[in-house]
Amino acid sequence: TQLLEQSPQFLSIQEGENLTVYCNSSSVFSSLQWYRQEPGEGPVLLVTVVTGGEVKKLKRLTFQFGDARKDSSLHITAAQPGDTGLYLCAGPFAGGTSYGKLTFGQGTILTVHP
């Protein structure tokens, strides 16, 4: 079973602080995705990383895929209240009868206080 472990599970910070969320696995993934979910809505894709060591930036958000493709991180610089939400990492199962399916980490609930 391919598992994705996210940490921390909860993060409560003040506006302007920096933070990092981690997504770790003992398995190699061909790609990893990060989704953001707001209360009462479905998740929305932020980014997909596919190459080991890859770094992608989305405004104040920086995503990194580990060299061995077993882990990823999301770093937010100068967090704003609008960043509040549930952040989920996800990756595809590898082969066999699991081909084509996605597994999710348990999520990180981020609260940014004004």
**Count of positions on this chain that bind another protein (CB under 8 A):** 27
Tell me if 25 contacts another protein by CB under 8 A.
no
Of positions 34, 43, 61, 69, contacts another protein by CB under 8 A = 43
CA–CA gap between residue 63 and residue 94 (Å, rounded): 22
Which positions ≥6 away from 48 have C-beta within 8 Å?
31, 32, 33
In the block, tokens 């990060």 appear at 34
Instruction: Supply the minimum distance, in Å, between the C-beta of residue 55 and another protein.
Output: 17
Which positions ≥6 away from 114 have C-beta within 8 Å?
15, 81
Tell me if 48 contacts another protein by CB under 8 A.
yes
Tell me if 78 contacts another protein by CB under 8 A.
no
Of positions 15, 20, 45, 111, contacts another protein by CB under 8 A = 45
* Closest among 64, 68, 65, 94 to 2, alpha carbons compared: 94
Tell me if 27 contacts another protein by CB under 8 A.
no
The sign one gets for the Cα dihedral 75, 80, 81, 83 is: negative
Nearer to another protein, 9 or 18 (CB): 9
Chain residues binding another protein by CB under 8 A are 6, 9, 30-31, 33, 40-45, 48, 50, 88, 90, 92-93, 97, 99-107
